[in-house]
A and B are shown apart, each in its own frame.
Chain A
Amino acid sequence: MFSGLQVIDKVFETMSRRTAQKISRRSFVARIGATLAGAAVLPVLPVARKAQAAEDPGVEWAKRVEAQTKDPRACNYWRYCSSDGYLCSCCGGGPATCPPGSTPSPTSWVGSCLNPDDGKMYLIAYRDCCGKDSCAQCGCLGTAGEMPTYRPQLNNDIIWCFGGSSMVYHCSSAAIVGQI
């Protein structure tokens, strides 16, 4: 009679012997090598890089709203991940240009959004257009990376017309500042 431990020992011995007979040591080393090299290459691939950046609120927003790059008159246009207000694109301007009669605020806050076309993050300046009554078209609310009002530099509930000639808010624009 075998004891329990001896049975286990026997089973593993048989398994190892069979394995040793079937595969060569060289193929084992080759596989380990391939696995290690693969592990080193994987994080370089765009998919892996995106996965690492998954914590970013801009990335989270882009996934949730299915961000797109073709219609700046829709709330899910990629640059609006932190935009809170009326889209200048719906008010006679563009995503980064003010409608006639309004002027861009000299001050803004800077956030970052994911461009779904190239999978890269871009810094976006949220610059309000000021000096004309509220446009009241295409109200959108993006809050990626926004901070509470006690961190006003990174808050979009306040009107960003500081330093301009008028504090009257018209619409929100979103200009690309650079790629990060």
Chain B
Amino acid sequence: MQSPMASLVLAIFFSASAIAGPSAVQPDDVPDVLIREKRTVLPRVAGAAEDYSRNCQGCHGHLGVSVAEVPALRSRVGYFTHTLAGRAYLVQVPNVLQSPLSDARLAGLLNWLLDEYSREQLPPDFQPYTADEIAALRSTRIESVIERRREVVDALVRAGVVPDASALSFSFAPGHY
């Protein structure tokens, strides 16, 4: 049995150390008795990490990787910021463009996920998104997202950012279900 003081110290330690975002330990099926009686404190999710959890994680996964049908973010998404068109694409892809989040929170969310999942792929002179940039980009709608993605990826290949298109491909299979 832990003393109440020891539990409190542990709780403070864990809550202070866990604000960063998705952690390696997945709380998943934490027995309620741990929260009730042992006062177990789970990783806190706040700010842009919470916006990611609520709006993106369900499909993109808490580690930024999911099934083949959902484009992976991890070790990939940063490549798009090497060109203006790619930078715009990340904002204009329909679920970002139509998100209920404000321009400022979207800017924070995109900057957070680029840093969290794809820091290594960012250009050395990467400039974070601002709310104004998001607002400007959001005023333009992409007609065909698949076609635009292809154009953007082809340009990234030509610019030598990625060796070939397969580096950024995902399985888009209409009628699969």
The size of the chain A interface, using a CB distance under 8 A, is 32
Query: Which of B54-62, B119-127, B132-140, B146-154 binds A?
Result: B54-62
B155 at interface by CB-CB < 8 Å: no
Roughly how many angstroms separate A153 CA and B53 CA in the complex, as a whole number? Answer: 12
Within 8 Å of chain B (Cβ to Cβ): is A175? Answer: yes
Flag the segment in B64-72, B83-91, B104-112, B159-167 that touches A. B64-72
Q: Which of A106, A109, A176 contacts B27 (CB 8 A)?
A: A176
Would you give the 0/1 interface string for B16-48, flagging 1 where the beta carbon is closer than 8 Å to chain A? 000000100011111010011001011111100
A-B contact count (CB 8 A): 89
Q: Mark A101-137, 1 if CB is under 8 A from B, else 0.
A: 0000011111110010110001101000000000000
Residue of B nearest to A147 (CB): B100
Q: Which residues of A contact B50 (CB under 8 A)?
A: 123, 180
Knowing A122-B42, A151-B100, A178-B45, say if A107 contacts B58 (CB, 8 Å). Answer: yes
Given contacts A69-B32, A153-B58, A180-B46, contact A107 B70 (CB under 8 A): yes
- Check if B177 sits within 8 Å of A167, measured CB to CB: yes
Q: A163 with B70: in contact, given A117-B36, A123-B50, A180-B44 (CB under 8 Å)?
A: yes
Please tell me if B102 contacts chain A, counting CB pairs below 8 Å.
no
Across the interface, name the chain B residue whose C-beta is closest to A123: B53
- The binding surface of chain B is classed by DSSP as loop
Cα of A19 to Cα of B54 in the assembled complex, Å: 57
Q: How many residues of B contact A (CB 8 A)?
A: 33
Name which of A20-28, A33-41, A44-52, A90-98 contacts chain B. A90-98
A17 contacts B by Cβ under 8 Å: no
Q: Is the CB of A179 within 8 A of B43?
A: yes
Min CB gap A93→B, angstroms: 10
Which listed residue, A95, A117, A153, touches B29 by the CB 8 Å rule?
A95
Cross-chain contact B59 with A178 (CB below 8 angstroms): no
A25 to chain B, nearest CB (A): 41
List the A side residues contacting B67 at CB < 8 Å: 106-107, 162-164
Give the contacts of A126-180 with B (CB-CB under 8 A). 151, 153, 162-164, 167, 175-180
Residues of chain A within 8 A of B66, CB atoms compared? 106-107, 163
Chain B residues within 8 Å of A164, by CB: 67
* Closest-CB distance, A104 to chain B (whole angstroms): 10
Q: List chain B positions with a Cβ less than 8 A from chain A.
A: 22, 26-30, 32, 35-36, 39, 41-46, 50, 53-55, 57-59, 61-62, 66-70, 95, 100, 177
19 contacts between A and B (CB under 8 A): A70-B32, A78-B32, A107-B66, A107-B67, A107-B70, A110-B58, A117-B32, A118-B36, A123-B53, A125-B58, A163-B68, A163-B69, A163-B70, A177-B57, A177-B62, A178-B22, A178-B27, A179-B42, A180-B50
